[in-house]
């Protein structure tokens, strides 16, 4: 069979790859996308979407258990059918992945299901072989080679393992295993206090598991604003989740009826913890092996991430890389933006990944959302004096009236210029509120812009305006306590 030729080939159909392919299709570039496992990648299938579905269910379950505070009595305690929850969650995933498939096809993108590998480039372009793998659980045979003028590597990442903790999805599970459980483990150990571990740990704590978080660093969610994290730490404690910081997981043993984890505590002593499941969530590593990078001459760094510049170009002309594969903030929206930028570049338009901020959200209870700089980062970047304003959700009519008033909104600006440097929110709806800060930072706004913009009442979004007012010493709904640091 003659080799197929494309102007662009995208390897990996996650939130980086599929938007790139759709945009290329829209721009009339002859494009194929190759995916070995699931259209929609980690995010839609085993990441962002299914995790947010179970987080929503856990929140609802928890709220129902506390409905009597509002005078609502539920005849008996709410019960949970995990199998039914799984069915609902799978339905949500299928709706979205089906939609992506339709959009790819609708924009003229050829979908090829199989595992792609780069070969040594020929005179006629980049060569990619595709070995058909397991598609929708069924083996598919055959190999084919295609030729591409441009290649976008978007193969994403997978969970890190540590020696002695092989993920068997039985005793030792990763996030994918944790999202697929058809029962609630009585005791769950979460190794790693990053956002994935805490989000899932909280889900199971709400469903009734005794959860212990083991974190090697001095604090959980190390990259997020300290004050915001403090609120979540207090909530974890209230929920009965034990958080062991400065603690290293050393080994584990299967005792038949349980797993026993040995940890080294902060004081150097060892301790043992019993569990039914151990969730390993210590970060993710790039899918850069077995991709033919060496044959094609594509450079990677020490940790295996493909090296790409702000035009997402690798060191090989015509080969681009995006998403988790190139590291940085390993988030779906970062991957998507990069995918869209590359599509424009390949289509001959001027574009670059040139953003001032990438917002991040941790879907714990309460949520933490952040955009721009933390106070420490601002200082490190030479903003010698800062204006900081904090507004508590407890002073917000909307937060009180929906019985969800934990947390605050914090605005950070440069004291001399007023430039908005960072917005950090911990509280109900933080993830939905943060985009205002991202837009403001992208537009080069000053704190006063947030202060002067009328926010509708009563809404949670007023917290942003009120925090700006606090920073400027103009608050009317709390006592003025602007902080200069
Ligand atoms: C539990 C969990 C929750 C998360 N929650 C959030 C969240 O709330 N918000 C957020 O922004 N991010 C979240 N993330 C992170 C997010 O999922 C990733 O940042 C995002 O999926 C990265 O997109 P990507 O396109 O780079 O790669 P991926 O989504 O990893 O997609 C890569 C695709 O490439 C395919 N592939 C790999 N190698 C080959 C090959 N050789 N041939 C063909 N195909 C190949 C893979 O099968 C995969 O489908 C979460 C992740 C996890 C695990």
pLDDT at 144: 87
Residue of the CA atom closest to atom 52 of ligand 1? 47
Note if 183 is an active site residue: no
Residue 116 CA: nearest ligand 1 atom is 42
262 alpha carbon – ligand 1 mean position (Å): 31
The answer to whether the CB of 427 falls within 8 A of the CB of 396 is no
pLDDT at 137: 44
Instruction: Show the tokens assigned to 441.
Output: 């930072």
Q: Would the CB of 434 count as within 6 Å of ligand 1? A: no
The answer to whether the CB of 152 falls within 8 A of the CB of 8 is yes
Alpha helices in 66-155 (DSSP H): 82-106
pLDDT at 133: 52
Residue 336 CA: nearest ligand 1 atom is 25
Question: Whole-angstrom Cα distance, residue 315 to residue 153?
Answer: 13
Q: pTM for this structure?
A: 0.96
Q: Would the CB of 17 count as within 6 Å of ligand 1? A: yes
Question: Whole-angstrom Cα distance, residue 249 to residue 276?
Answer: 16
Which residue is listed with tokens 């290649």?
A: 151
The answer to whether the CB of 105 falls within 8 A of the CB of 91 is no
Q: Which stretches of the chain score pLDDT less than 50?
A: 134-137
pLDDT at 132: 76
Any idea what DSSP says for residue 394?
G
The answer to whether the CB of 118 falls within 8 A of the CB of 128 is yes
Q: Would the CB of 157 count as within 6 Å of ligand 1? A: yes
Cα dihedral sign, 390-395-400-402: negative
The answer to whether the CB of 464 falls within 8 A of the CB of 439 is no
The answer to whether the CB of 33 falls within 8 A of the CB of 109 is yes
pLDDT at 139: 55
335 alpha carbon – ligand 1 mean position (Å): 9
Q: Would the CB of 359 count as within 6 Å of ligand 1? A: no
Question: Whole-angstrom Cα distance, residue 153 to residue 435?
Answer: 28
Question: Whole-angstrom Cα distance, residue 439 to residue 424?
Answer: 14
Active-site position among 126, 383, 457, 477: 457
Collect all residues with Cβ–Cβ distance below 8 Å to 409 and sequence separation of at least 6: 390, 391, 393, 423, 424, 425, 427, 433, 463, 464, 466, 467
93 alpha carbon – ligand 1 mean position (Å): 14
**What does R_g of the chain's alpha carbons equal in angstroms?**
24
pLDDT at 76: 85
Per residue in 125-180, pLDDT (tens digit) is 999 999 975 444 455 567 889 999 999 999 999 999 999 999 999 999 999 999 99
Q: Would the CB of 327 count as within 6 Å of ligand 1? A: no
The number of beta carbons lying within 10 Å of the beta carbon of residue 48 is 20
153 alpha carbon – ligand 1 mean position (Å): 12
């Amino acid at each position: 069979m003659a080799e197929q030729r494309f102007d662009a080939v995208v390897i990996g159909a996650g939130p980086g790859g599929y938007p790139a392919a759709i945009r290329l299709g829209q721009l009339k570039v002859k494009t194929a996308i190759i995916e070995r496992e699931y259209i929609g990648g980690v995010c839609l299938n085993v990441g962002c979407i299914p995790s947010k579905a179970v987080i929503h269910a856990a929140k609802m379950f928890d709220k129902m258990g506390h409905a009597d505070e509002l005078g609502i009595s539920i005849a008996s305690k709410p019960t949970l059918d995990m199998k039914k929850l799984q069915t609902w969650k799978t339905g949500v995933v299928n709706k979205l992945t089906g939609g992506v498939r339709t959009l790819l096809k609708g924009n003229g993108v050829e979908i090829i299901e199989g595992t792609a590998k780069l070969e040594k480039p020929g005179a006629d372009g980049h060569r990619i072989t595709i070995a058909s793998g397991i598609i929708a659980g069924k083996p598919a045979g055959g190999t084919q080679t295609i030729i591409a003028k441009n290649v976008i590597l978007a193969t994403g990442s997978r969970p890190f393992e540590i020696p002695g903790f092989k993920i068997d999805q039985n005793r030792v599970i990763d996030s994918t295993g944790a999202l697929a459980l058809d029962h609630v483990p009585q005791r769950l150990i979460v190794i790693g206090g990053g956002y994935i571990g805490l989000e899932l740990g909280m889900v199971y704590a709400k469903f009734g598991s005794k959860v212990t978080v083991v974190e090697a660093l001095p604090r959980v969610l190390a990259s997020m604003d300290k004050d915001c994290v403090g609120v979540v730490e207090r909530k974890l404690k209230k929920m009965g989740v034990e958080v062991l910081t400065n603690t290293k997981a050393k080994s584990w043993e299967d005792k038949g009826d349980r797993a026993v984890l040995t940890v080294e505590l902060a004081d150097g002593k060892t301790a043992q913890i019993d569990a039914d499941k151990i969730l390993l969530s210590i970060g993710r590593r790039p899918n850069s092996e077995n991709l033919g990078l060496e044959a094609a001459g594509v450079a990677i760094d020490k940790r295996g991430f493909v090296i790409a510049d702000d035009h997402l170009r690798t060191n090989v002309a015509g080969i681009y890389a995006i998403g988790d594969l190139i590291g940085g903030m390993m988030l779906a929206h970062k991957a998507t933006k990069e995918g869209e930028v590359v599509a424009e570049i390949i289509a001959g338009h001027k574009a670059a990944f040139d953003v001032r901020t990438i917002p991040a959200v941790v879907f714990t209870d309460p949520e933490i959302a952040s955009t721009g700089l933390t106070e420490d980062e601002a200082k490190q970047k030479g903003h010698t004096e800062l204006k900081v304003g904090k507004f508590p959700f407890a002073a917000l009519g909307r937060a009180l009236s929906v019985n969800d008033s934990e947390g605050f909104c914090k605005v950070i600006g440069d004291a001399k210029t007023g430039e908005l440097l960072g917005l950090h929110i911990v509280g109900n709806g933080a993830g939905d509120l943060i985009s205002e800060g991202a837009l403001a930072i992208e537009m080069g706004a000053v704190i006063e812009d947030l202060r002067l913009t009328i926010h509708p009442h009563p809404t949670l979004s007023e917290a942003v305006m009120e925090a700006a007012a606090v920073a400027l010493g103009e608050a009317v709904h709390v006592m003025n306590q602007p902080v200069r640091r």
